[in-house]
């Protein structure tokens, strides 16, 4: 069937592809590039600044001599607890993520699979939704009082529990959405084959929602790592997390700008890693969760 191309005259195509609704093609490409630049630009500038000497930042020197001293000062400096902060953040984020995944997934499955009276399921889901909308600051006040009364002020437990609480709504809603995508016949087949409810869940359902677990886990970890107001007010210096440490930089009398840049960059590392690895899951989780 091959015809030499010379015998076919090829005029300019007349019809435009259907999805180029507003722009498409060239215009879309230009805006795409502009957008990527606008998003990455600030990061790039801060990244560069983190490798500059403080004086070089002030003078806007370009090109510049790079240095690792900012990172060294932030991480290993005598006056810096940043490494400790990182450890705190990792511990709290990991623990609260594990906990919220367990509690949230079980709850989501229970609501999805078992017939609860309307007031239970609607009540719980509605409750979580309402608290998801309220600024956390309103709860931190009573939390502060309660934790102090219980002697749990300035403990990792307090942070972990509160982080689980704020991530629970999203986890439950997200896992519910993923459970909904499983055809009920699969679980019914398992029950017919002889599985008890717990086994059916463990052996059949759970493996099928692993992408959901990954998405929810990533999001829970990130939000816990990023969390600021609770950590700011329920911990003191020793247990401070990374965001609190960054805030401390900004509140100094003489702000160490270069080091603040370096600290900021370090705090974005989990985000960059998870973005590179888990991009598919995150986008699916965000859009799936958003469509509720």
Partner 1 sequence: MASVRIRNVAKRFDSVVVMQDIDLDVADGEFIVLVGASGCGKSTLLRMIAGLEAITAGDIEIGGRRVNDLEPRERDVAMVFQSYALYPHLDVRENMSFSLRLRKRPDSEIERMVGGTASTLALDALLDRRPRALSGGQRQRVAMGRAIVRHPQLFLFDEPLSNLDAKLRVAMRTEIRALHQRLHATSIYVTHDQVEAMTMADRMVVMNAGRIEQIGRPLDVYDHPETLYVAQFIGSPAINVWRGPVEQGTLRAAPGATLAIDANVPPGATVAAAFRPEHVEIDGTGTIAARVDVVETLGPETYVYLEAGGLPVCARVDRTQRLSPGDPVRLRIAPAAIHLFDQGGRRLAA
Partner 2 sequence: MDFLNRTFRHWSLLPAVVLFVLLTAYPVANLVRMSVSTIEFAQGTETWTFTPLRNFALLRADEVIPPAVRNTLIFVVAAVAIEMVLGLALALLVAGVSRGKGLVRTVMILPILVPPVAIGSMWKLLYNYDFGIFNQALTALHLPPVNWLGSTSIALWSVILVDVWHWVPFVFLILFAAVEALPIDVLEAARVDGATRSQLLRRVVLPLLKPAIVVALLFRTILAFKVFDEVFLLTSGGPGTSTELVTLHLYKVFFEQNQLGYGALLSLALIAAILAFLLVGRQATKAVRV
Residues binding partner 1 (CB under 8 A): 1-3, 8-15, 18
Q: Residue 245's closest CA among 259, 254, 48?
A: 259
**Number of neighbouring beta carbons within 10 Å of residue 63:** 6
Binding to partner 2 by residue 222, rule CB under 8 A?
Answer: yes
Nearest approach in angstroms of CB 98 to partner 2 is: 13
Q: Which stretch binds partner 2 (CB under 8 A): 5-13, 69-77, 90-98, 161-169?
A: 161-169
Nearest approach in angstroms of CB 79 to partner 2 is: 18
Binding to partner 2 by residue 90, rule CB under 8 A?
Answer: no
Q: Which of 75, 87, 90, 103 binds partner 2 (CB under 8 A)?
A: 103
Q: Which of 4, 13, 42, 207 binds partner 2 (CB under 8 A)?
A: 42
Angle at 268 between CA 262 and CA 272, to 5 degrees: 130
The nearer residue to partner 2, 84 or 144, going by C-beta atoms, is: 144
Q: Let me know: does 231 contact 240? Beta carbons within 8 Å.
A: yes
**Number of neighbouring beta carbons within 10 Å of residue 241:** 28
Binding to partner 2 by residue 208, rule CB under 8 A?
Answer: no
Task: Measure Cα distances from 26 to 14, 16, 69 in Å.
Answer: 16, 12, 44
Q: Which stretch binds partner 2 (CB under 8 A): 77-85, 126-134, 186-194, 205-213?
A: 126-134
- CA torsion angle 32 34 37 41 (round to 10): -150
Partner in contact with 53, chosen from partner 2, partner 1, none, beta carbon below 5 to 8 Å by kind: none
The conformation of residue 20, written as its DSSP 8-state character, comes to -
Q: Which stretch binds partner 2 (CB under 8 A): 1-9, 37-45, 70-78, 209-217?
A: 37-45
**CA 287 – CA 132 distance, rounded (Å):** 17
Q: Which stretch binds partner 2 (CB under 8 A): 2-10, 71-79, 80-88, 119-127?
A: 119-127
Binding to partner 2 by residue 217, rule CB under 8 A?
Answer: no
Judged by DSSP in three states, 286 sits in helix
Partner in contact with 1, chosen from partner 2, partner 1, none, beta carbon below 5 to 8 Å by kind: partner 1
Q: Which of 4, 11, 13, 18 binds partner 2 (CB under 8 A)?
A: 18
Q: Which stretch binds partner 2 (CB under 8 A): 17-25, 68-76, 77-85, 203-211?
A: 17-25
> Exposed/middle/buried for 136, CB within 10 Å: 0-12, 13-18, 19+?
middle
Q: Which of 74, 92, 190, 274 binds partner 2 (CB under 8 A)?
A: 274
Q: What are phi and psi of 225, to 5 degrees?
A: -60, -40
- Residue positions counted in the chain: 292
């Amino acid at each position: 069937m091959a015809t030499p191309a010379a015998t076919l005259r090829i005029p300019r195509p007349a019809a435009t592809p259907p999805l180029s609704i507003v722009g498409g093609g060239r215009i879309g490409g230009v805006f795409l590039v502009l957008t990527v630049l606008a998003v990455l630009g600030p990061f790039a500038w801060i990244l560069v600044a983190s490798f500059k000497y403080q004086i070089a930042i002030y003078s806007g020197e370009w090109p510049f001599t790079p240095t690792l001293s900012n990172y060294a000062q932030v991480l290993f400096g005598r006056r810096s607890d940043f490494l400790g902060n990182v450890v705190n953040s990792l511990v709290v984020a990991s623990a609260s993520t594990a906990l919220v995944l367990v509690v949230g997934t079980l709850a989501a499955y229970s609501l999805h699979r078992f017939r609860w009276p309307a007031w239970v399921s609607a009540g719980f889901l509605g409750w979580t939704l309402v608290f998801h909308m309220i600024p956390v600051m309103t709860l931190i006040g009573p939390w502060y009082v309660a934790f102090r009364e219980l002697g749990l002020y300035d403990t990792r437990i307090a942070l972990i529990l509160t982080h689980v609480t704020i991530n629970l709504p999203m986890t439950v809603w997200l896992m519910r959405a993923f459970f909904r995508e499983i055809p009920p016949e699969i679980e019914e087949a398992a029950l017919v084959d002889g599985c008890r409810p717990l086994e059916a869940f463990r052996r059949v359902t759970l493996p099928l929602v692993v992408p959901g677990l990954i998405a929810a886990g990533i999001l829970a970890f990130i939000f816990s790592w990023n969390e600021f107001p609770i950590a700011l007010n329920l911990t003191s210096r020793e247990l401070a997390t990374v965001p609190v440490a960054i805030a401390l930089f900004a509140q100094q009398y003489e702000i160490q700008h270069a080091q603040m840049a370096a600290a900021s960059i370090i705090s974005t590392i989990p985000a960059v890693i998870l973005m590179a690895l888990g991009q598919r899951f995150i986008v699916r989780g965000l859009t799936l969760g958003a469509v509720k």
